Amino acid sequence: MKKIFLILSILSLTVITNSCESDITSLNEDPKHPTVVPSGLLVASAEQELISQLLTPNVNNNISRFFTQQWAQTTYIDESNYDMVTRPIPRNHYNRMMASSSAIIHSPGVLSALRDAKQFLQNEGLDAVKKNNNEAIIELISVYTWANLVDTYGDVPYFGALKAVAGANNASEIPYDDAKTIYLDLVKRIDAANAMININQSGYTDDIFYKGNMAKWKKMANSLKFRLAVTLADVEPALAKTYAEAAYNAGLFDNKDDSWGLTAFPSGLFANPVYQEAIQSGRNDFIPSDVLVDYMNTTTDPRRDRWFTKNGGVYKGGVYGSNNSFGGYSHMTSPKIDVNGNAEAGSDGAYMLITENAQGFLLDYTEISFLRAEAAARGFSVGGTATTLYAAAITASMTEYGISSTNANAFIAANPFNASNWKQSIGFQAWVAMFNKGFQAWNFARRLDYPVFVNPADSAVDGVPVRMKYSDQEYLLNKNNVTAAAQKIGGDQVTTKVFWDVF
């Protein structure tokens, strides 16, 4: 296992190094004669890069936890005030996911690694069933990644991306495609990939998420389609209903064991990226925010006892967007040693939220449970009423963190579903449940418009971000197309809503 992750880490280092180049096209290789790499290794590398990028709290790469104001900062507060220019965060996220629309060197990002994996797969001499299963895995990871890019930026290069020809004068000039058109195409790709799956035979054994278990990949396909369907609900309600009900009937995640990601990160080179940045680094940069902790205090949320330490006998979040003393507030539970020489475990036993081997999911049972509650509130037929599914979703989150059914039921009774303002009920509870799952929390908050976040006084932008601006590198390499895209969506600003965020 360690040998595999050493190889993956080397590949990831290549990704990061290439992504930092000021002109990626200067590193182009001939795509028609690439170095052959086993496609399974590229898939595993793509999975590692994807989960690392979406989970990391590294302020150079991913500040999604600040978009939903669940974390606060201590010494350095630029990112919680939405300065994304000093550190080129939009560029870094875009490049790690795709390595720019025009990149044609092999495997510098998630999508380009998957492109190469699909190419190499064709010549690996597998039987038709095995080949189809492997191709379905490649497609489903690709769809997930493309959906994240659309959710983050809006219109992006899609149909012409990653197809540039080495040495061409216009290798960087890739048109941007309409975000809604991309989303609808992604749903078609999920259906096509799902149809390729044969659950009686395995897929890639290198697959670090499911180890090639195609029954789980089939549930992932249905659950991913369900997520995209609910995301479309305000802009395409009838189509969203059709997609969501079809996905539900085909079979969604049944429990936490179905969740897509890692139940536990392996020890050694591939530790949980939150642990790497918040604990292993030895830095004291992050604390839970007052926005989150104050709300959880008002609802007497039992998850506090597992997620946070107490400060002065109470749960106290740092002031969002302000400079906070690390010692003056609650911390997220972890093996970090406190002033008394003890690990900062939760008051509810020895539970620690952030550890080397802590779980990390990109699409999980708790998220799907809240999406089902939302779908039911919108009138979709998904196996229950909004009230019962709301309770089931909260229970899923409580169970995920080891909260007893007695405490979960007491919490639900004290915080009942409000059918007259279901967006508020589901919005707040999904936001809490998606704690430490930045992009997932951001999608719920944008779509349901709860909680309502206040832009900090020293914010670098005009409002709390509802999208990220385009990569600054695109304005150098793909200026005409990115400029046209910015004009089409209403301006390249963090306050410009993506197509599905209509309210």
CA–CA separation, 22 vs 483, rounded Å?
19
Q: Which of 114, 139, 135 is nearest to 126 (CA)?
A: 135
Please tell me whether residues 96 and 150 are part of one structural domain.
yes
Please tell me whether residues 7 and 133 are part of one structural domain.
yes
Please tell me whether residues 195 and 314 are part of one structural domain.
no
Task: Answer yes or no: is 79 within a domain.
Answer: no
Q: Which pLDDT score, from 0 to 100, does residue 28 have?
A: 40
Q: Given the DSSP bridges, would you call strands 71-73 and 286-288 parallel, antiparallel or unpaired?
A: antiparallel
Q: Which pLDDT score, from 0 to 100, does residue 164 have?
A: 57
Task: Answer yes or no: is 459 within a domain.
Answer: no
Detail the DSSP E strand segments found in 244-333.
Answer: 260-262, 286-288
Task: Answer yes or no: is 219 within a domain.
Answer: no
Task: Answer yes or no: is 394 within a domain.
Answer: yes
Please tell me whether residues 291 and 205 are part of one structural domain.
no
Q: Which pLDDT score, from 0 to 100, does residue 99 have?
A: 73
Lookup: tokens for 177: 């495609």
Task: Answer yes or no: is 239 within a domain.
Answer: no
Q: Which pLDDT score, from 0 to 100, does residue 500 have?
A: 98
Q: Which pLDDT score, from 0 to 100, does residue 170 have?
A: 55
Task: Answer yes or no: is 130 within a domain.
Answer: yes
Q: Which of 494, 468, 495, 471 is nearest to 481 (CA)?
A: 471
Angle between helices 89-97 and 128-153 (to 10 degrees): 170
Detail the DSSP E strand segments found in 359-435.
Answer: 360-363
Boundaries of domain holding 161: 2-24+38-65+88-212+467-489
Could you tell me if residue 351 is left (phi over 0), alpha (psi between -120 and 50 degrees) or otherwise beta?
Answer: beta
Burial pattern 149-175, b for ≥16 Cβ within 10 A else e, equals: bbbbbbbbbbeebbebeeeeeebbbbb
Q: How far is CA 121 from CA 29, 41, 279, 467, in A?
A: 20, 11, 39, 35
CATH number of domain containing 137:
1.25.40
Q: How many domains, the chain? A: 3
CATH number of domain containing 408:
1.20.120.840
Please tell me whether residues 289 and 369 are part of one structural domain.
no
Which of 277, 309, 344 is the C-terminal boundary of a domain?
344
Burial pattern 61-82, b for ≥16 Cβ within 10 A else e, equals: bbbbbbbbbbbbbbeebbbbbb
Average pLDDT across each block of 10 residues of the chain; the chain has 503 residues. List them in order.
Answer: 42 38 36 71 96 97 98 97 98 88 57 94 97 98 98 96 60 89 98 98 98 98 99 98 98 98 88 96 96 98 98 98 97 94 92 97 98 98 98 98 97 98 98 98 98 98 98 94 98 98 96
Please tell me whether residues 192 and 113 are part of one structural domain.
yes
Please tell me whether residues 51 and 159 are part of one structural domain.
yes
Tokens 């007893």 belong to which residue?
404
Please tell me whether residues 189 and 299 are part of one structural domain.
no
Which of 344, 369, 388 is the C-terminal boundary of a domain?
344
The residues facing 344 across adjacent strands are 334
Please tell me whether residues 308 and 368 are part of one structural domain.
no
Please tell me whether residues 53 and 174 are part of one structural domain.
yes
> Considering the entire predicted model, what is its pTM?
0.93
Phi, psi of 289 (to 5 degrees): -85, 160
